[in-house]
């Protein structure tokens, strides 16, 4: 251990009640028995690491995070394999991204090993919460908040807390792997050059809720974000990245600084190349998306993210008209990548990249 953890065991939920909750988990509604908490201040650095019973936090109303939003988070999953072992997927990639987000938000980095040890301790302790059902997992939510008690906005907080909580998760989208219908947001933008778009911070999500509500009103599952300068180039979806499939060539919007560098996005780029596809980062304009979907040159579009995995996108709605990709049906490249990536996570496929991390 890079840092000593104090263990305060929880009164565990009775097994029968836990099994009832695991049978049909919604996303992010119920939580496992324990949580991790580690403190930081300028004098002591990271200290006071605990595995403690899951429960409410007692914070002063003047705590900085409530007012100025200095907060970052991560998302990854623990999977129970058919042989009973429990694994996580690329936890060091999430640790590295957390620290990149921290840098942008003027927060202290957490040693990557401590991040992974915290996950290991929580998952090993609450192992019974990792669902057995195929397609289900234990979603892990590491996050860091500014805890200095002060309304003065003179600079970054003097104190922080890193926490990890865990919740059993089924399919993120109600329709499972059915194609999504997405809404092209032209009234709002998510991130501008020089802003916080590449950081995984709560404010990036809060600012998108009004557009997500517009999407829902129009019968859409997700918002498509365009670049803020020209409103011409596709950045990403509300909670995930996007891939465009032209036969055997895949293109995903390049990391311009305004979109989230997704771990699943990075995994799909590597996996697609391994499977013999051409996988590239580039720029996709809305005009080309529409024209290429119409001509059939664009064969599939899919979204990818930790919570939603790989999900086809079948229909686009916008103020200037609607269009369909690949007849609105799931395509073979999307299905193959979903199957291969799931297979690596569950152990049904080899892991040539060393992505799987045993607990």
75 is an interface residue for ligand COI by CB under 6 A: yes
| Binding residues among 179-238 for ligand COI as defined by CB under 6 A | 205
Only segment of 3-11, 93-101, 227-235, 299-307 that touches ligand COI (CB under 6 A): 299-307
| Binding residues among 112-151 for ligand COI as defined by CB under 6 A | none
CB of 27 to ligand COI, least distance (A): 7
Among residues 138, 135, 156, the alpha carbon closest in space to that of 147 is found at: 156
Residue with Cβ nearer ligand COI (150 or 342): 342
CB of 56 to ligand COI, least distance (A): 21
Among residues 71, 27, 96, 78, the alpha carbon closest in space to that of 261 is found at: 96
In degrees and rounded to multiples of 5, residue 353 shows phi and psi of -95, -10
Site size toward ligand COI (CB under 6 A) is 6
CA distance to 91, 141, 211, 245, 332, per residue, from 207 (Å): 27, 20, 8, 29, 35
What is the C-alpha separation between 244 and 250, in angstroms, rounded? 6
CB of 294 to ligand COI, least distance (A): 31
Q: Specify the long-range contacts of residues 93-100, CB closer than 8 Å, at least 24 apart.
A: 93/263, 93/266, 94/142, 94/263, 97/200, 97/261, 97/263, 98/72, 98/73, 98/74, 98/142, 98/144, 98/200, 100/198, 100/199, 100/261
CB of 206 to ligand COI, least distance (A): 11
Residue nearest to ligand COI (CB): 75
Only segment of 1-9, 16-24, 303-311, 346-354 that touches ligand COI (CB under 6 A): 303-311
In the list 239, 252, 258, 345, the residue contacting ligand COI (rule: CB under 6 A) is 239
What is the C-alpha separation between 313 and 55, in angstroms, rounded? 38
Q: Under DSSP, is residue 55 helix (H, G, I), strand (E, B) or coil?
A: coil
CB of 75 to ligand COI, least distance (A): 2
Only segment of 18-26, 93-101, 304-312, 330-338 that touches ligand COI (CB under 6 A): 304-312
Residue with Cβ nearer ligand COI (88 or 306): 306
Determine the angle formed by the axes of helices 112-125 and 91-104, rounding to 10 degrees: 130
Residue with Cβ nearer ligand COI (147 or 307): 307
In the list 306, 311, 334, 346, the residue contacting ligand COI (rule: CB under 6 A) is 306
Per CB under 6 A, residues contacting ligand COI are 75, 205, 239, 305-307
């Amino acid at each position: 251990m890079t840092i000593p953890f104090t263990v305060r065991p929880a009164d565990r939920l009775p097994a029968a009640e836990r099994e009832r909750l695991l049978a049909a988990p919604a996303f992010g509604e119920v939580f496992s028995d324990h949580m991790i908490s580690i403190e930081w201040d300028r004098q002591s650095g990271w200290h006071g690491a605990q595995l403690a019973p899951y429960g409410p936090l007692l914070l002063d109303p003047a705590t900085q995070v409530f007012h100025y939003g200095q907060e970052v988070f991560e998302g990854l999953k623990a999977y129970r394999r058919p042989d009973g072992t429990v694994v996580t997927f690329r936890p060091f990639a999430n640790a590295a991204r957390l620290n990149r987000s921290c840098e942008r938000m003027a927060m202290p980095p957490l040693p990557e090993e401590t991040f992974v040890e915290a996950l290991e301790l929580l998952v090993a302790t609450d192992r019974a919460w990792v669902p057995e059902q195929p397609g289900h997992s234990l979603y892990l939510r590491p996050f860091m908040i500014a805890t200095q008690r002060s309304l003065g906005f003179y600079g970054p907080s003097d104190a922080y807390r890193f926490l990890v909580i865990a919740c059993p998760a089924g399919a993120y989208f109600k329709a499972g792997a059915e194609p999504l219908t997405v809404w092209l947001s032209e009234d709002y933008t998510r991130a501008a050059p020089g802003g916080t778009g590449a950081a995984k911070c709560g404010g990036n999500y809060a600012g998108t809720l009004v557009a997500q509500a517009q999407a829902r009103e129009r019968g859409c599952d997700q918002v498509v974000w365009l670049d803020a300068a020209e409103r011409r180039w596709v950045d990403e979806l509300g909670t995930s990245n996007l891939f465009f499939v032209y036969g055997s060539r895949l293109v995903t919007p390049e990391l311009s600084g305004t979109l989230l560098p997704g771990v699943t996005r990075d995994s799909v780029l590597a996996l697609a190349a391994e499977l013999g596809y051409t996988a590239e980062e580039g720029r996709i304009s809305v005009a080309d998306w529409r024209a290429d979907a119409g001509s059939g040159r664009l064969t599939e579009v899919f979204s990818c993210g930790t919570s939603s995995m790989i999900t086809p996108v079948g229909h686009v709605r916008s103020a200037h008209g609607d269009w369909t990709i690949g007849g609105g049906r799931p395509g073979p490249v999307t299905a193959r990548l979903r199957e291969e990536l799931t297979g690596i996570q569950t152990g049904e496929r080899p892991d040539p990249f060393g992505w799987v991390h045993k607990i």
